[in-house]
């Protein structure tokens, strides 16, 4: 039973699932489906693919994740970030609209699924922690701008692709002759309606007496109304005859997945991109899952999440669609529609399938420009300047990592930006740990507490000196303590006892052990006794595997206070 | 005056340098010169260059370092490690013996000097800390084996080069037809004599009544006697007619340095190798300098060391020679000869110049095999299996880093080995810091000291819980504390106060700040008050730049004990 629960987390809620739950989730799913249709289609376009593939990507992956994921709220499907990464990764290999482009997008989803499952099996989830907050922040802001600019082409009716701002603008300006006035006018109307509905629709509903819940739902439904209105406008005014591009006929049936146009070289060249989209998608998804889980006091298991998302991506590939992940806006749509369990994910998928099977003619006159406009309006919110200011105040180095990621994503490309960001974060971290803070400490009067002599009025003794090193002792800083201790002893020849206070040392590696050995030998030849205090349990366990303590001239004290008391008593 | 001292560290000892000092250092230098001649020539051969270049590389670099370095003991010149790295780096570009090979070796020395000086100016010395003890240990052991095997060719009289064990053995076996019996016999005799003299010469001298100092010096002079004997043997038995290769005629005069055979591509391809030889050479040199400095209670300034070694390498390039650095065996030779100041470095260089100018005919009949044999005997001591065993006992991960470095250096090459070693060290460190130890702590009875409830019999209170996280809070583990804290609160619903004890937190970055913010919000909505205790000075300074503490529901306590006392009093 436990094993089944572990590999099929859905069992934990399925067992107690009631008819009343089903009725509730059914209603919620119906609402969510209506809201998710334009969003999913828009994200497919964002990935450089036909809009209807967004519906394909919302069916199987959603069911698979509902059964295998550990979050009870997370909704999985096409998501802005992974869709735009898909476009960025596939673009160098094929032209959007070509069969090859689609085949590579499907393959990307497959490889990314395999990577996620491998990471789950190898318990490598911790690697995703390498994406620090500043790097993610810079990446999202720059990507949002890239996406918005990339979608401009649909608003103008021109073509133009690119992996960075420069390419995008160059390519679009090459196609400016395709500019279509009807499309632009429609787009402007649509954007105005979207902004107005976003701002006023919910409060308007409240004014006319809707309940809070209905008002908030209708507020979110703005894009749906706009889509309906625009579709009707195209139909009645035959705008498609004026050059406005529409979704058109939607091809049905199980997609034929054909990887034959892809060469082995392309496959290999895809691997870094696939890895990146897996990691970025996972990090985004887990943070959404965790923030919803916390509200409900639930547990998210990152390794199982890797597995669930990996399976969802493989399911997406089998559906002939593109990479998916858990998304914030999808999840908000679900929960605000009243979803209470992952059953909503399954039911939404079923409704989506029904729509796909029987209602696609309704989308025939849906103009692409409307989908692009809703993406632009939604995504520009992700540009977060306040976050940069906040981080800049907190740490110049981290602000630099954010800025570098932002500009490199914008001007060079997503992968380069992420890699430089991670590299800088690691470099700054290593710089920090290899320049540790070291303090000489004394007793805060009236307590058993020892603090930095430079910051507090503390009591010290002439022949005993206590050095507190504020860092793990490992290869990057092994020699720093050595230099410091020997420097102190050289300056103060009347020291008889030196205590290294280890309350901030959480790890000691072989390089540091060498260094401690050296310190011990040098102090011995200088006639100074070396003691340790407040070594933590796990560090002590480790030290016992070495012979440092066997040859120690002094003692190891549980607390710093005991050390000072015993050594002073002995001196007296 | 201070500025001069800073840029010309020699001023600190030159000012008080007396005639008595000069007499002492002069005697020491004379002895050192005799001992260093065969060593330097051997290392030049190790670098794949004519033996006499070892003398060239021992003159200018030694003088330059004596004036610019901060160590009073370190001897700079050709050294085993950097010589064999030179061979490994230059070999892919040119054949040993060719003009191009020499030109590239000289260029390597020049670039490496420039790198070292740049690192000094940019204060990037901390980057060298990336070379952890296990990586260095694995690298040295594997390199020593490579060198020993590489020198076998001189013992057999055959040719054969290679960047790894496989290439070496393949190439030598291709040239087995050149095998020369006279060379092999001479080599075997020489090796036996070297081993015997190493083992028994010093004690034999003591037995016949020499003073300890003389005995130890004569003990080290074994290779010199062997070199003299072998040279005489070649001369009297005309072994050179039997195919035994000899040093032969030594070309004199300022070398013509001609970089014209080197293409720009080669120059660029040399950069990674030049960087590596700089860093490895610097690390080796500084550790030798530090171990000698400690005995004399002197200070080594790593940034000035970078400058001094960089200048020495440029000096070596200008002399038409190859990369140099500070070496352990050179330094031991100097100090055991009685050297007391860097003046020895200058005087040794002068004597070396005299030898080069007037005494090279003495080396005409010196057989290469003898130099190779002394290198093999000396270098195999560097293979350190005990170190592996010691590290394996201490940490399986670090032993893996050592093992990977060792095998990759041996089977693939030095650069690949070092890079993999550094990569693994970083990965393991990140793994460790992203899986931090977290403990719930209570009061050790009768003290003001708080320890892990799982390891000690401690006092706790039902509605107050204290969590101690044993790691810096940064991007790689930002979410771990969040999960832990929320997990604890979910399991123990009667908690009113939660204290995060920060005595082991030495750094908080923006990602962790986010996480603490989340914790604060979630605890607030769960009705738990959040407090902090024992935040260190530098971390507190940083937190004040954020708004975390402004919105805190609880308090920040100087000591954990104060936190518990105040909170219990309030509850009562």
Taking contacts as CB-CB distances below 8 angstroms, the residues of chain B near A133 are: 475, 478, 509-511, 514
In the predicted structure, residue A477 carries a pLDDT above the cut 80? yes
> Residue B303: its pLDDT value, please?
85
Taking contacts as CB-CB distances below 8 angstroms, the residues of chain A near B439 are: 537
Out of A254-263, B71-80, B408-417, B543-552, least confident range: A254-263
Taking contacts as CB-CB distances below 8 angstroms, the residues of chain A near B505 are: 504
CB contact under 8 A, A510 and B398: yes
Alpha-carbon distance B147 to B135, whole Å?
A: 18
Q: Which of A414-428, B50-64, B186-200 has the highest mean pLDDT?
A: B50-64
Nearest to B540 by CA among B496, B497, B502, B567: B502
Chain B: give the shortest CA distance to residue A128, in Å.
8
Taking contacts as CB-CB distances below 8 angstroms, the residues of chain B near A471 are: 472, 506
By the CB < 8 Å criterion, does B549 face chain A? Answer: no
Alpha-carbon distance A400 to A421, whole Å?
A: 9
In the predicted structure, residue B430 carries a pLDDT above the cut 90? no
By the CB < 8 Å criterion, does A445 face chain B? Answer: no
CB contact under 8 A, B130 and A430: yes
> Residue B146: its pLDDT value, please?
85
In the predicted structure, residue B296 carries a pLDDT above the cut 70? no
**What does pLDDT average to over chain B?**
87
pLDDT band at A224 (very low <50, low <70, confident <90, very high): confident
CB contact under 8 A, A294 and B522: yes
By the CB < 8 Å criterion, does B510 face chain A? Answer: yes
More confident residue, A561 or B31: A561
pLDDT 10s digits, A12-40? 888 888 888 888 888 889 888 988 888 89
Taking contacts as CB-CB distances below 8 angstroms, the residues of chain A near B391 are: 510
**What does pLDDT average to over chain A?**
87
Provide the percentage of residues in chain B whose pLDDT is more than 70.
98
In the predicted structure, residue B311 carries a pLDDT above the cut 90? yes
CB contact under 8 A, A536 and B504: yes
pLDDT band at A297 (very low <50, low <70, confident <90, very high): low
> Residue A500: its pLDDT value, please?
95
More confident residue, B375 or A195: A195
**Residues A326 and A71: beta-carbon distance below 8 Å:** yes
Alpha-carbon distance B142 to A23, whole Å?
A: 70
Q: Which residues contact A227 (CB under 8 A, 6 or more apart)?
A: A38, A366, A370, A371, A374
> Residue A294: its pLDDT value, please?
60
Mean pLDDT of B141-161: 83
pLDDT 10s digits, B202-218? 888 888 888 887 887 77
Chain A: give the shortest CA distance to residue B270, in Å.
23
CB contact under 8 A, A290 and B482: yes
Q: What share of chain A is helix, strand, coil (3-state, %, to 5)?
A: 65, 5, 25
By the CB < 8 Å criterion, does A431 face chain B? Answer: yes
How many C-beta atoms surround the C-beta of residue A158 within 10 A?
20
Mean pLDDT of A264-273: 89
CB contact under 8 A, A447 and B486: no
What is the Cα gyration radius of chain B? 30
First to last CA, chain A: 67
By the CB < 8 Å criterion, does A559 face chain B? Answer: yes
Chain A: give the shortest CA distance to residue B350, in Å.
34
pLDDT band at A371 (very low <50, low <70, confident <90, very high): confident
**Residues B371 and B113: beta-carbon distance below 8 Å:** no
Which chain B residue has the Cα nearest residue A546?
A: B394
Mean pLDDT of B291-297: 65
**Residues B308 and B69: beta-carbon distance below 8 Å:** yes
Chain B: give the shortest CA distance to residue A391, in Å.
7
> Residue A337: its pLDDT value, please?
78
By the CB < 8 Å criterion, does B472 face chain A? Answer: yes
pLDDT 10s digits, A496-529? 999 999 999 999 998 888 889 888 988 888 889 9
pLDDT 10s digits, A78-121? 998 899 889 889 988 888 888 899 999 999 999 999 999 999 99
pLDDT band at A139 (very low <50, low <70, confident <90, very high): confident
Which chain B residue has the Cα nearest residue A137?
A: B511
More confident residue, B93 or A4: B93
What is the Cα gyration radius of chain A? 30
pLDDT band at B297 (very low <50, low <70, confident <90, very high): low
- Of the candidates A390, A439, A514, which has its C-beta nearest B133's C-beta? A514
How many C-beta atoms surround the C-beta of residue B141 within 10 A?
22
Interface A–B counts its CB contacts (< 8 A) at 199
Is B489 strand, coil or helix? helix
pLDDT band at B565 (very low <50, low <70, confident <90, very high): very high
By the CB < 8 Å criterion, does A305 face chain B? Answer: no
Which chain B residue has the Cα nearest residue A485?
A: B294
Provide the percentage of residues in chain A whose pLDDT is more than 90.
33
More confident residue, A378 or A146: A146
In the predicted structure, residue A267 carries a pLDDT above the cut 70? yes
- Of the candidates A431, A478, A506, which has its C-beta nearest B504's C-beta? A506
Provide the percentage of residues in chain B whose pLDDT is more than 90.
33
- Of the candidates A129, A433, A536, which has its C-beta nearest B475's C-beta? A129
Mean pLDDT of A207-211: 84
Out of A445-459, B133-147, B461-475, least confident range: B133-147
By the CB < 8 Å criterion, does B251 face chain A? Answer: no
pLDDT band at A562 (very low <50, low <70, confident <90, very high): very high
- Site from B129, B418, B440 to mutate, A interface, most A CB atoms within 10 angstroms: B129
> Residue A27: its pLDDT value, please?
86
Q: Give the tokens for residue B149.
A: 């095997």
Chain B: give the shortest CA distance to residue A512, in Å.
8
Please name the residues between 477 and 506 in chain B that touch chain A, using a CB distance below 8 Å. Answer: 477-479, 482-483, 486-487, 490, 503-506
Alpha-carbon distance B259 to B273, whole Å?
A: 18
B312-349 b/e with 16+ CB inside 10 Å = b?
bbbbbbbbbbbbbbbbbbbbbbbbbbbbbbbbbbbbbb
Q: Which of A102-116, B410-424, B508-522 has the highest mean pLDDT?
A: A102-116
> Residue B243: its pLDDT value, please?
83
Mean pLDDT of A456-471: 92
Alpha-carbon distance A518 to B501, whole Å?
A: 32
For the packed helices A80-90 and A19-46, what is the interaxial angle rounded to 10 degrees? 30
Please name the residues between 153 and 212 in chain A that touch chain B, using a CB distance below 8 Å. Answer: none
Taking contacts as CB-CB distances below 8 angstroms, the residues of chain A near B295 are: 525
> Residue B572: its pLDDT value, please?
65
CB contact under 8 A, A514 and B126: no
pLDDT 10s digits, A299-329? 678 888 999 999 999 999 999 999 999 988 7
> Residue A54: its pLDDT value, please?
93
């Amino acid at each position: 039973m436990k094993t089944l629960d572990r590999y099929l987390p859905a069992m934990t809620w399925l067992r107690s699932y009631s008819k009343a739950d089903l009725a509730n989730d059914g209603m919620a799913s119906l609402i969510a489906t209506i809201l998710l249709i334009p969003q999913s289609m828009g994200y497919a376009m964002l990935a450089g693919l036909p809009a209807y593939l967004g519906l394909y990507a919302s069916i199987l992956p959603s069911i698979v994740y509902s059964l295998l994921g550990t979050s009870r709220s997370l909704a999985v499907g096409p998501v802005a970030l992974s869709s735009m990464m898909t476009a960025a990764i596939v673009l160098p290999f094929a032209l959007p609209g070509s069969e090859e482009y689609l085949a590579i997008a499907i393959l990307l989803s497959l490889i990314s699924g395999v990577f996620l499952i491998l990471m789950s099996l190898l318990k490598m989830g911790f690697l995703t922690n390498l994406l620090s907050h500043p790097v993610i922040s810079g990446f999202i802001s720059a990507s949002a701008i890239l996406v918005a600019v990339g979608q401009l082409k649909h608003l103008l009716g021109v073509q133009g692709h690119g992996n960075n701002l420069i390419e995008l603008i160059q390519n679009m300006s090459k196609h400016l002759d395709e500019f279509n006035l009807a499309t632009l006018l429609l787009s402007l109307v649509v954007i105005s309606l979207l902004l107005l509905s976003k701002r006023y629709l919910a409060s308007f509903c409240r004014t006319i007496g809707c309940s809070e819940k209905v008002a908030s739902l209708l507020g979110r439904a703005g894009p749906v109304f706009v889509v309906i209105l625009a579709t009707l406008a195209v139909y009645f005014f035959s705008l498609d005859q004026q050059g406005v591009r529409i979704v058109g006929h939607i091809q049905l049936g199980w997609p034929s997945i054909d990887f034959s146009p892809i060469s082995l070289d392309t496959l290999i060249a895809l691997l870094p991109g696939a890895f990146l989209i897996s990691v970025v998608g996972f990090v985004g998804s887990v943070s959404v899952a965790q923030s919803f889980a916390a509200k409900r006091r639930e547990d998210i298991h990152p390794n199982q999440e890797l597995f669930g998302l990996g399976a969802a991506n493989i399911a997406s590939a089998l559906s002939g669609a593109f990479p998916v992940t858990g998304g914030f806006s999808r999840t908000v749509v679900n929960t605000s529609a009243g979803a209470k369990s992952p059953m909503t994910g399954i039911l939404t998928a079923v409704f989506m399938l029904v729509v796909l099977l029987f209602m696609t003619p309704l989308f025939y006159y849906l103009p692409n420009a409307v989908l692009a406009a809703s993406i632009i309006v939604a995504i520009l919110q992700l540009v977060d300047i306040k976050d940069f200011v906040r981080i800049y105040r907190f740490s110049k180095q981290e602000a630099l990592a954010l800025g570098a990621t932002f500009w490199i994503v914008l001007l060079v490309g997503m992968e380069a930006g992420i890699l430089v960001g991670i590299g800088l974060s690691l470099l700054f971290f290593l710089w920090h740990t290899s320049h540790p803070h070291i303090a000489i400490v004394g007793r805060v009067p009236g307590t058993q507490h020892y603090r930095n002599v430079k910051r507090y009025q503390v009591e010290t003794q002439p022949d005993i000196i206590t050095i507190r090193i504020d860092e793990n002792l490992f290869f990057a800083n092994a020699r720093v303590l050595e230099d410091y201790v020997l420097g102190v002893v050289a300056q103060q020849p009347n020291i008889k006892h030196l205590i290294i206070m280890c309350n901030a040392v959480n790890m000691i590696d072989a390089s540091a052990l060498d260094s401690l050995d050296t310190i011990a030998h040098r102090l011995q030849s200088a006639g100074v006794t070396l003691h340790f205090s407040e070594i933590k349990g796990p560090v002590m366990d480790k030290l016992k595997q070495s012979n440092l303590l066997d040859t120690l001239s002094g003692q190891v004290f549980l607390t710093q206070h005991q050390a000072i008391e015993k050594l002073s008593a002995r001196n007296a």
